[in-house]
Amino acid sequence: MMRFSRALLDACIEAFTAVLPLERPADSVLAKFFRDHPHLGQRDRALVAESVYAALRRRRLLERLETMRAPRRLVLATWATLLGANMKELEPLARGDEFAWLGAAKREASASQPLEIECDFPDWLIERLRLRFDDTVLREIAAGLNRNAALDLRVNLMKVSRDAVLARLAEDGLHPGPTPFSPAGVRLPGRPAINRHPLFIEGAVEVQDEGSQLLSYLVAPRRSELVVDFCAGAGGKTLALGMLMRSGGRLYAFDVSVKRLAALKPRMARSGLSNVHPLRIADANDVHIKRLSGKIDRVLVDAPCSGLGTLRRNPDLKWRWTPDDINEMARKQRGILSDASRLLKPGGRLVYATCSILEEENRQVVEEFLARHADFRQHSAKEIFAEQRIPLDTGDYLETWPHVHGTDGFFAAVFERK
């Protein structure tokens, strides 16, 4: 049960003031805010974070309620209209005419809203999605992306079975269930502190959305192969690939960031994998790329993208991106995909993936790649999943949606070099 107080109101006002200029990612701003406020307890931190993310998800509604320029009213309106606070709880916190205004705001928020307010997307994003979807589907997409995400785990099947993890988490009262598609997936309601759980500490589970887990099954690496995770980041998908390889073969984790690769090392140690080789690359002409050109069996390109498929977790992204940013991102994605394709040997498999919901970053990149690379052909994602008895059919492409599949929004295309 939430407990609203003047101290929490003051903390939320300060947090909102720090986050809402949106000059930096909301999660990093909040992390700094909590470091600067060590007196806040775990429950208080959770309420501050939930309030901030709720306001980011429904920013256009709150703007309609004329709250954005008044931090006190913004927090109170967030609590009353989005977090379901009882008005009697909020009455002692109101000043002057705030309580009467708050009642009117709550009635207005519950009334029927125009499409752009109901979806709570920027106009440019609505326009782009309307090129593909009608308004009914658009509302469903928005409802899915504006909900809180459950916590998905990937079981390290080299160490333990999924059934054993489900049983252990159930014993601990966490109410787990198997994910419907990934053979290694477990879903937990809410946001338990899983990083403190023995299963996490021992490397038996990793936090990974089910949609992300499915990418490794599209790559489908074998134990004896040479495999590259071309944009490895902190290595969540790298570890999933290594697990499927049973720590055999050789798995290269490429990234341009030393910091991101450094974050992979403790995760590797927990996982027990011995076939992962992190390598920083400077650019497409890096010596590592040249040395491995034409020799690799399978390559995953989880390309840098807008991340708009992850709005359940990162709602600030929809307000921070512009159409020009998206166009520039798509240009980079085309270059990265072309560079990564040079690594493949004949018969090799290349998977291009994003956590975006935009055609510019997804199908348009794929179509241009195929038009410019006659030595590649597309392979059906449906067929690859069927071979592994994964009950998911989104056609030739992998395409997941929160409102349909319960995952983040992911896209992937599979190519084979002729």
Instruction: Let me know: does 200 contact 169? Beta carbons within 8 Å.
Output: no
Closest to 188 measured CA to CA, from 217, 204, 209: 209
Question: Which tokens go with 222?
Answer: 């074998």
Closest to 22 measured CA to CA, from 56, 51, 50: 56
Instruction: Let me know: does 343 contact 289? Beta carbons within 8 Å.
Output: yes
Task: State the alpha helices, DSSP H only, in 37-188.
Answer: 42-57, 59-64, 71-77, 87-90, 98-110, 115-119, 123-130, 135-145, 162-171
Answer yes or no: 355 catalytic: yes
Instruction: Let me know: does 327 contact 377? Beta carbons within 8 Å.
Output: no
**Distance in angstroms (rounded) separating the CA atoms of residues 247 and 151:** 26
Q: Which residues of 198-216 are buried (b: 16+ CB within 10 A; e: fewer)?
A: ebbeebbbbebbbbbbbbb
| 159: three-class secondary structure by DSSP | coil
DSSP 173-201: T---EE-SS-TTEEEESS---GGGSHHHH
For residue 74, how far is the Cα from the chain centroid? 27
- List phi, psi (to 5°) of 195: -70, -10
Q: Which residues of 82-102 are buried (b: 16+ CB within 10 A; e: fewer)?
A: beebeeeebeebbeeebbebb
The single residue of 12, 119, 305, 355 carrying the catalytic annotation is 355
**Distance in angstroms (rounded) separating the CA atoms of residues 112 and 100:** 21
Instruction: Let me know: does 353 contact 302? Beta carbons within 8 Å.
Output: yes
Residue entry with tokens 């992911």: 410
Which residues participate in catalysis according to the annotation? 355
